[in-house]
């Protein structure tokens, strides 16, 4: 098939490269000129394991993928996947600006198209968006009728940053929200090389499945942090509790990592936009999901409270922060707990030395001046009064790095028994 993908971010570029690898002819369209130029040189603008290899093969060797800043390329394709960002507005509601722009531009190009074209939203959008926003814009700008000349579907992406390529090729399930069976059948054909179960449903249900999935994952994290905060006061280790829980097949052991909470480009903003839409448009206050956000908001700053308890007034104290990315194996710092923690430390007058194996440049752009960025964990730790482990990169898990230091572990990166023998160790909620 001939496919156009709008947006060359985590979802768009990984989908584009993955589909090109399956033998489709793909054009990836992005407004970011530098991103497009990099992709056309077979290089990934994102640090994702395996993506550079995949791009160099598809772009340079096989010629099955190219990138462009122009929407004209949509005309020569059968399917368009919308994969642009859907950030939060300041009131927590979803910002659909990029999705609107993409739908308008696609509609404008489809005006000149002869024959059927399928438009698939893959961005995470609040339930109702495809029906109420995407379809009216496609019809308005193309002058054509959705359901006749244009097919529409919603097909959420569930990839995890850090293993996005692997997740694309090995999905747990494929959700197809279809306006009609013609649209759904094309997507079933598109994914025929994947062995995952396919769930076919209507568009709005598929949009809600994506939100429910992220809301559930976020709830698991805040749940275990709530339990951890209680356990901590009881003198009980929450990781022993998780071990005990994990043998119950209804519970399992995934997404039960107590610590400083979730960040990233998806869970916080998706939860906020679901709570916002539910309480403002649907008249339901979503109390549990609000509490999930509240627990998460408080959790990150617990590491600063403990630092203050250990060191007293933080003014002039040297604090090493290990980890800036919101999770290991990515350079993405969007809503990373490290950013809030560092801003709070700076506000209290601490002298911050930060280190991350991949995310330093992105963090530098997001943080105020005054942070010293180190070239290694050892350098950041060297003359610090206290070390905070904020992201659980593998290289931070060697207890010997911390000999004689005061360490506050926000991610259970260290084995507490080993660490306690070598340093003044404290977990954030254990
Ligand atoms: P991203 O910010 O990494 O990439 C978005 C890209 O879209 C950018 O390169 C931007 O330049 C481009 N863009 C914006 N407006 C455009 C336009 N009008 N035309 C062409 N290109 C345009 O975003 P992402 O992380 O890939 O997320 C995309 C969507 O997928 C979001 O809705 C997100 O919630 C969802 N999602 C993300 C992940 C993830 O782990 N990142 C996982 C599942 C779903």
- pLDDT tens for the 430 residues of the chain, in order: 999 999 999 999 999 999 999 999 999 999 999 999 999 999 999 999 999 999 999 999 999 999 999 999 999 999 999 999 999 999 999 999 999 999 999 999 999 999 999 999 999 999 999 999 999 999 999 999 999 999 999 999 999 999 999 999 999 999 999 999 999 999 999 999 999 999 999 999 999 999 999 999 999 999 999 999 999 999 999 999 999 999 999 999 999 999 999 999 999 999 999 999 999 999 999 999 999 999 999 999 999 999 999 999 999 999 999 999 999 999 999 999 999 999 999 999 999 999 999 999 999 999 999 999 999 999 999 999 999 999 999 999 999 999 999 999 999 999 999 999 999 999 999 9
- With tokens 């617990």, the residue in question is 302
**pTM score of the predicted model:** 0.96
- Pocket-testing residue among 5, 6, 8, 11, ligand 1, by greatest number of atoms within 8 A of Cβ: 11
Give the Å distance between the CA of 43 and the centre of ligand 1: 18
Atom of ligand 1 nearest to the CA of 29: 20
Cα separation values, 414 from 331, 391, 407, Å? 22, 12, 10
How far, in Å, CA of 139 to CA of 332, rounded?
Answer: 36
- Ligand 1 binding pocket includes 83 (Cβ within 6 Å): yes
Which of these is catalytic: 28, 231, 266, 423? 266
| 393 beta partners | none
Characterize the bridge pairing of strands 174-178 and 150-154.
antiparallel
- Predicted confidence at residue 74, as pLDDT, reads 98
Beta bridge partners of 25: 2
- How many angstroms does the Cα of residue 417 sit away from the middle of ligand 1? 42
- Centre of ligand 1 to C-alpha 270, Å, is 13
Q: Is 362 in the pocket of ligand 1 (CB under 6 A)?
A: no
Q: Which two tokens stand for residue 298?
A: 């408080």
Residues comprising the chain, all counted: 430
C-alpha 12 to ligand 1 mean position (Å): 7
Residue nearest to atom 15 of ligand 1 (CA): 98
The answer to whether 266 is a known catalytic residue is yes
Please state, in angstroms and rounded to a whole number, the distance separating the CA atoms of residues 219 and 270.
12
SS3 for 33-79, per residue?
A: HHHHHHHHCCCCCCCCCCHHHHHHHHHHHCCCEEEECCHHHHHHCCE
Looking at the CA of residue 7, tell me the nearest atom of ligand 1.
7
Q: What is the spatial order of strands in the sheet that 351-355 belongs to?
A: 372-373, 351-355, 318-322, 386-389, 406-409, 424-427
- State the Cα–Cα distance between residues 60 and 390, nearest whole angstrom: 38
Which residues, 6 or more positions from 206, have their beta carbon under 8 angstroms from its beta carbon? 154, 155, 156, 175, 176, 177
Instruction: Pick the atom of ligand 1 nearest to 35's CA.
Output: 9
Q: Greatest CA separation found in the chain?
A: 72
Does the beta carbon of 152 sit less than 6 angstroms from any atom of ligand 1? no
Q: Is the CB of 124 under 6 A from ligand 1?
A: yes
Q: Is the CB of 154 under 6 A from ligand 1?
A: no
């Amino acid at each position: 098939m001939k496919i156009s993908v709008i947006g060359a971010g985590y979802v768009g570029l990984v989908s584009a490269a993955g589909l090109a690898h399956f033998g489709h002819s793909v054009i990836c369209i992005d407004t970011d000129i530098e991103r497009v130029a990099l992709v056309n040189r077979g290089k990934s603008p994102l640090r994702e394991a395996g993506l550079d290899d995949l791009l160099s093969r598809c772009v340079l060797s096989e010629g099955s993928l190219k990138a462009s800043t122009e929407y004209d390329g949509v005309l020569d394709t059968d399917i368009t996947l919308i994969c642009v960002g859907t950030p939060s507005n300041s009131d927590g509601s979803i910002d659909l600006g990029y999705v609107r722009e993409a739908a308008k531009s696609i509609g404008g190009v489809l005006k000149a198209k002869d024959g059927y074209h399928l438009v698939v939203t893959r961005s995470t959008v609040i339930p109702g968006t495809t029906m109420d926003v995407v379809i009216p814009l496609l019809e308005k700008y193309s002058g054509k009728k959705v359901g006749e000349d244009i097919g529409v579907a919603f097909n959420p992406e569930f990839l995890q940053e850090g293993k996005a390529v692997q997740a694309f090729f090995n999905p747990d399930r494929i959700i197809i929200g279809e306006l009609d069976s013609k649209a759904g059948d094309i997507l079933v054909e598109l994914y025929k090389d994947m062995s995952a179960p396919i769930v076919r449903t209507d568009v709005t249900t598929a949009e809600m499945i994506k939100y429910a999935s992220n809301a559930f994952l976020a709830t698991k994290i805040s749940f275990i942090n709530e339990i951890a905060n209680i356990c901590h006061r009881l003198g009980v280790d929450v990781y022993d509790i998780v071990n005990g829980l994990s043998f119950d097949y209804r519970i399992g052991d995934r997404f039960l990592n107590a610590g400083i909470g979730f960040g990233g480009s998806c869970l916080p903003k998706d939860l906020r936009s679901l709570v916002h839409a539910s309480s403002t448009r649907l008249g339901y206050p979503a109390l549990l999901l609000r509490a999930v956000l509240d627990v998460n908001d408080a959790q990150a700053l617990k590491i600063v409270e403990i630092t203050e308890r250990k060191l007293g007034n933080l003014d002039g104290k040297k604090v090493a922060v290990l980890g800036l990315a919101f999770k290991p194996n990515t350079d993405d710092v969007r809503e990373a707990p490290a950013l809030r923690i560092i801003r709070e430390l700076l506000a209290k007058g601490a002298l911050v030395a930060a280190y991350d194996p991949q995310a330093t440049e992105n963090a530098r752009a997001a943080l105020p001046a005054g942070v010293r960025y180190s070239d290694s964990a050892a350098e950041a730790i060297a003359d610090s009064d206290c070390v905070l482990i904020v992201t659980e990169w593998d290289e931070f898990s060697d207890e010997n790095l911390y000999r004689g230091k005061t360490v506050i572990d926000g991610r259970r990166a260290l084995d507490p028994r080993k660490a306690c023998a070598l340093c003044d160790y404290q977990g954030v909620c254990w």
